[in-house]
Copies of this chain bind each other. A is one copy, B any other.
Amino acid sequence: MSDEWPTTDFSRLEMLYGPLAGSVRRLVDISIRTTADPATVAAAKLKIDSAADELSASAQSEPFGVQRTRDGNTIAWGNAVIGLRNPVAPPLVIHREADGQVWSEFVLGAPYEGPPGHVHGGVCALILDHVLGATAHQPHRPAYTGTLILRYLRKTELGRPLRAEAHVERVDGAKTFSTGLIADDDGPTVEAEGIFIHSKQPSA
């Protein structure tokens, strides 16, 4: 998308579509855990299909991963990790410290399960890719994952407060070398290191 939108438009649209995503996120979680009988499931399915039909009349064909505002910021509405409008995203809120550390605190529920009661190892990889990559991102100069190495120390529990954090180890030309981890209050569960690569040309 080449159009740039004023930040005020984004705020207005987030107030409109954010709560919709929240409702869908809640439905996702409940739909996995429900033991409802066939009549209840059929009635709920009718409502869900009707809501989807109404919303689809005006659905854009293109996804919403990144949109740019006129003040130079980008907003990742549809991003699979942080997208406010994406019910698949937890969504993580990414914080940046003055010293360059990036962190996020979150709890993962039923939709992120692998082993019973535990976070899917690949979901840990998804989150660490994003959080490590966020150390390398600069306005108008996105960084792409080159290499990502994950070491799983122990299982990560669903329903427990978790923290992901990362920082830059060094920068070598277009390459940013970062390390990070996911931890619960007993310590790290997964450690990661990654190389993230800036595109040669700043994106327009």
Contacts and interface: CB of A to CB of B under 8 A. Distances in A.
Interface of A: 1, 16-17, 19-21, 23-24, 26-28, 30-38, 40-41, 43-45, 47-52, 54-66, 77-81, 83, 85-88, 109-118, 120-123, 125-130, 133, 142, 144-152, 155, 158
B55 A44 contact: yes
B35 A60 contact: yes
Given A113-B79, A152-B146, A40 B16 contact: no
Contacts of A59: 30, 33-35
A88 B47 contact: no
Contact of A122 (B40, B121, B126, B155): B126
Given A24-B31, A120-B81, A148 B145 contact: no
Contacts of A20: 31, 34, 41, 44-45, 48
Contact of A40 (B28, B47, B54, B64): B54
A66 B58 CA distance: 38
- The oligomer's copy count stands at 2
Contacts of A64: 32-33, 110, 113
B111 A122 contact: no
A145 B125 CA distance: 11
Contacts of A118: 65
Given A54-B40, A151-B147, A24 B27 contact: yes
Contacts of A130: 114, 120, 122
Contact of A52 (B27, B78, B114): B27
Contact of A54 (B19, B43, B81, B151): B43
Nearest to A26: B52
Contacts of A112: 80, 88
Contact of A111 (B80, B128, B144): B80
Contact of A31 (B21, B110, B117): B21
Contacts of A120: 79-81, 126, 129-130
